Amino acid sequence: MPDFLIQIERLTEEPKRLEFDVSGTWWGDRERATQTEMCEVEEPFRFVLSASRVQDEVFIEGAVSGRVGRECSRCVKRYPHPLHDTYRLALSPIKGHESVDPEGKRGLAQNGLCLGEDLEAGLYRGSVVRLDDFFGEVIALAMPIQPLCDDACLGICSHCGENRNGPDEQRSQQSPGTATGCDCKDEKIESPFAVLASLKQDQGGGQGG
Ligand SMILES: [Zn+2]
Ligand SMILES: [Zn+2]
């Protein structure tokens, strides 16, 4: 298992560019260990960051990119989802009197790093900091909550159960949101609000006179 290490003493006020590749295997192991949702990593996560240090304060900022296979939340088709996110992290050395929770203690023992709740600040101890947990959290946060194969995805037909987007080859040639997946007619289902509105109107008309 690779270590994503930062050597504190090597950092200076001049930001230093660092790059780390996080493989799908690494992420898979982590997903199993933390029991998060499994996904296929189609393109390894690449962390490009700049790290600097002013006295004992360490500043890290950068971006992550990658691609994972997800299932569309509307049409359940698997599709490649590009991931891109930015992050910044300010690290201060832990003082003797500072107390941390059990999770922070584990982090300090394992990584020399205790991450704050918001993932933007943390405490470190020693001369080497492992960014494994930080990278893991950044990736987890970048994952889509409601994955969509396309913003205009039409989802599954409620009548026949077919994917309303139609076949991929056809889909790429037509304007987004065109339903070709089945021949079912779009039935206008009256919303409860529309019904209410018309009731109100009727009442208004009756009482108004
Ligand atoms: Zn979809
Ligand atoms: Zn249909």
Asked if residue 19 and residue 122 are part of one domain, the reply reads yes
**Distance from the alpha carbon of residue 183 to the mean position of ligand 2, in angstroms:** 6
**Average confidence score pLDDT of the chain:** 87
Asked if residue 128 and residue 163 are part of one domain, the reply reads no
Write down which residue in 142, 173, 194 finishes a domain: 142
**Distance from the alpha carbon of residue 119 to the mean position of ligand 2, in angstroms:** 45
**Distance from the alpha carbon of residue 160 to the mean position of ligand 2, in angstroms:** 4
List the Cα angle 120/134/45 in 5-degree steps. Answer: 115
Strand partners, 148: none
Domain count, the chain: 2
Q: Residue 191's pLDDT is what?
A: 57
Question: What number of residues does the chain have?
Answer: 209
Q: Are 159 and 165 in contact (CB under 8 A)?
A: no
Report residue 28 as tokens: 């898979």
Q: What mean pLDDT comes out for the span 77-103? A: 92
Write down which residue in 91, 112, 142 finishes a domain: 142
Tell me how far apart the alpha carbons of residues 158 and 161 are, in angstroms, rounded to a whole number.
6
Asked if residue 138 and residue 161 are part of one domain, the reply reads no
Asked if residue 158 and residue 116 are part of one domain, the reply reads no
Asked if residue 132 and residue 71 are part of one domain, the reply reads yes
Write down which residue in 142, 165, 186 finishes a domain: 142
Report if residue 95 sits inside a domain.
Answer: yes
Report if residue 147 sits inside a domain.
Answer: no
Query: Which pTM was predicted?
Result: 0.80
44-68 pLDDT, tens digit per residue, is 999 999 999 999 999 999 999 999 9
**Distance from the alpha carbon of residue 72 to the mean position of ligand 2, in angstroms:** 18
Q: Are 158 and 188 in contact (CB under 8 A)?
A: no
**Distance from the alpha carbon of residue 31 to the mean position of ligand 1, in angstroms:** 24
Q: Residue 181's pLDDT is what?
A: 85
Report if residue 32 sits inside a domain.
Answer: yes
115-135 pLDDT, tens digit per residue, is 988 899 999 999 999 999 999
Asked if residue 180 and residue 129 are part of one domain, the reply reads no
Instruction: Report helix, strand and coil shares of the chain as percent, to nearest 5.
Output: 25, 35, 40
List the Cα angle 165/171/175 in 5-degree steps. Answer: 95
- Which value, in Å, is the radius of gyration of the alpha carbons in the chain? 25
Asked if residue 161 and residue 117 are part of one domain, the reply reads no
Asked if residue 124 and residue 167 are part of one domain, the reply reads no
**Distance from the alpha carbon of residue 64 to the mean position of ligand 2, in angstroms:** 40
Please give the backbone phi and psi of residue 171, each rounded to the nearest 5 degrees, phi first.
-65, -35
**Distance from the alpha carbon of residue 152 to the mean position of ligand 1, in angstroms:** 8
**Distance from the alpha carbon of residue 194 to the mean position of ligand 2, in angstroms:** 24
What domain range includes position 125? 5-142
The string over 98-109, giving b where at least 16 C-beta atoms fall within 10 Å of a residue's C-beta and e elsewhere, is: eeeeeebeebbe
Strand partners, 85: 64
Q: Residue 169's pLDDT is what?
A: 79
Asked if residue 123 and residue 30 are part of one domain, the reply reads yes
Percent of the chain with pLDDT over 70: 87
Asked if residue 123 and residue 42 are part of one domain, the reply reads yes
Report if residue 209 sits inside a domain.
Answer: no
Tell me how far apart the alpha carbons of residues 5 and 82 are, in angstroms, rounded to a whole number.
26
Report if residue 60 sits inside a domain.
Answer: yes
**Distance from the alpha carbon of residue 71 to the mean position of ligand 1, in angstroms:** 8
**Distance from the alpha carbon of residue 150 to the mean position of ligand 2, in angstroms:** 19
Asked if residue 185 and residue 84 are part of one domain, the reply reads no
Half-sphere exposure of 94 (CA within 13 A, CB side): 22
**Distance from the alpha carbon of residue 185 to the mean position of ligand 2, in angstroms:** 8
**Distance from the alpha carbon of residue 75 to the mean position of ligand 2, in angstroms:** 13
4-32 pLDDT, tens digit per residue, is 999 999 999 999 999 999 999 999 988 88
**Distance from the alpha carbon of residue 41 to the mean position of ligand 1, in angstroms:** 19
CA 65 from chain centre, in angstroms, equals 11
Amino acid code (one letter) for 30: R
**Distance from the alpha carbon of residue 136 to the mean position of ligand 1, in angstroms:** 27
Kindly report the number of other CB atoms within 10 A of residue 74's CB atom: 18
